[in-house]
Chain A
Amino acid sequence: MNKANRSSEAASVNLSELLARVDNDRALLCELLSIFKREFPDHLQALRNAVAGNDADQAARVSHTLKGMLANLAVAKAAASASRLERLARAGEISSLGGALAGFEKDVQGLLPEMESYLAEARL
């Protein structure tokens, strides 16, 4: 897993926290990572669309979901920027959403490949 940690600067899952959360159940870990892999791209796209369309309600809903998923997988930094997005969207600060989204995208950069490598290792 060290390889994975090295390969991504921004994303970084807190692996020990995550393993504690699944009670060291590798099969469950795989399952959760697969759910994430399957659902994350759609949510991200929905968030981009909402921000582009100035739809604050939708942006709040999607960022709330993303925040929950990321927090459950112990990706603290990205969860915090999703939380910031949610807060701004709820406050109706549409003009700030674009910048916040850019920040979020930066934080989740490399997250999927990182998950992928955990998945590969966990399956061994």
Chain B
Amino acid sequence: MRILIADDDALSRRLLEKTLERANYEVTAVEDGRHAVEILSKPDAPRLALLDWMMPELDGPGICREIRKRRDQGYVYIILLTSKESKEDIVAGLESGADDYLVKPFDAEELKARLRTGERILHLENRLVEAREQMRFKATHDPLTSLWNRGVIMDLMGRELVRSQRERGCTAALLGDIDHFKSVNDTHGHLVGDQVLGEVARRLLLSVRSYDFVGRYGGEEFLIVLNNCRPDSAIARAEEIRKAICTRPIQTDAGLLGITMSLGVLLSSDWGRRPADELLREVDAALYAAKTAGRNCVRLAKREEPREVASAPQPAAERFR
């Protein structure tokens, strides 16, 4: 465990340093309050701090106030070292944001016991942060594939569309649908279907760049948002994704299954200023066109073409997927 010591008295600082090193702490020692704040403000700062109350420039309570102003970093457990005995002083120190105080000259065993209390608090905070992160993950990701869920991927797409418009760039939206997925489920059961979804998701993630977005849009439908995509390379990239799915069969409990994907592609630069849901309808129409063209292929959403397809008598989901 790392710990920061701030004490302007060299003798006291050395004694503390040695005592804590013996107790297996990794010690950083500084001689004034400014340095202490500087170190505690770094991203990988020690989470335990032992601060002398009285120091020139910035004293212990002053450091506490500075540290407690920040909301963005992990909690720092602060113990003030004081030779003061008056109650008013101790109350003032604790109200500045200190967690505990210790009267000098300190007793090594008491110091260590109080630091262990601090570690327990930090451990508790870590667990809470971890739980919060898990909840956040669950709220934003699809549980089966761990891809972004529908709400988030649509938000991300909306944001990227606005950004590419502002920067006069191009965002490509790809809507991919696993061909004949219903028959996988019907023939081999949902467990195998889930294995297929999981592997498709993994391959999608592997075939995009780290700053692109992949989300599960619906049952076997995936929405892929390619940021800053060159218009002339969008089809090629969609083809790569298509091949990433169909080239190798997928290993499942029912053996190797040949799986293919149809994709609709839309370039934001072709469509001007349109809301995301409208563009989603267009890319869905392009996907439908790919299904109609025999599946396992890519179709681009063009301003005219998809409209014809969209006038087909029955919804795509029923007839082709």
A and B together in one complex: yes
| Interchain CA distance A56-B108 in the complex, whole Å | 33
The 7 closest A-B pairs by CB, nearest first: A71-B105, A35-B11, A72-B105, A69-B11, A35-B10, A68-B9, A28-B18
Q: Mark B1-36, 1 if CB is under 8 A from A, else 0.
A: 000000011111011001100100000000000000
Contact at B105–A65, with CB atoms within 8 Å?
no
Residue of B12, B18, B22, B56 near A69 (CB, 8 A) is B12
Q: Closest CB of chain A to B134's CB: distance in Å?
A: 43
Question: Considering only CB atoms, which chain A residue lies closest to B103 in the complex?
Answer: A71
Q: Whose C-beta in chain A lies nearest to the C-beta of B107?
A: A21
Is the C-beta of A39 less than 8 angstroms from some C-beta in chain B? yes
Q: Are B104 and A68 in contact (CB under 8 A)?
A: yes
CB distance from A76 to the nearest CB of B (A): 10
> Is the beta-carbon distance between B18 and A21 smaller than 8 angstroms?
no
| Besides A21-B105, A35-B14, 4 other A-B contacts (C-beta < 8 A) | A28-B18, A35-B11, A39-B10, A68-B11
* CB contact under 8 A between A64 and B11, given known A21-B105, A71-B105: no
Contact B18 A72 (CB under 8 A): no
List residues 78-125 of chain B with CB under 8 A from any CB of chain A. Answer: 83, 104-105, 108
Q: Which residues of B contact A61 (CB under 8 A)?
A: 54, 56
Specify which of B8, B15, B22, B83 is in contact with A32 (CB 8 Å cutoff). Answer: B15
| Contact (Cβ within 8 A) A64 B83 | yes
Chain A residue contacts of B18, Cβ below 8 A: 22, 25, 28
Minimum Cβ distance to chain A for residue B229 (Å): 64
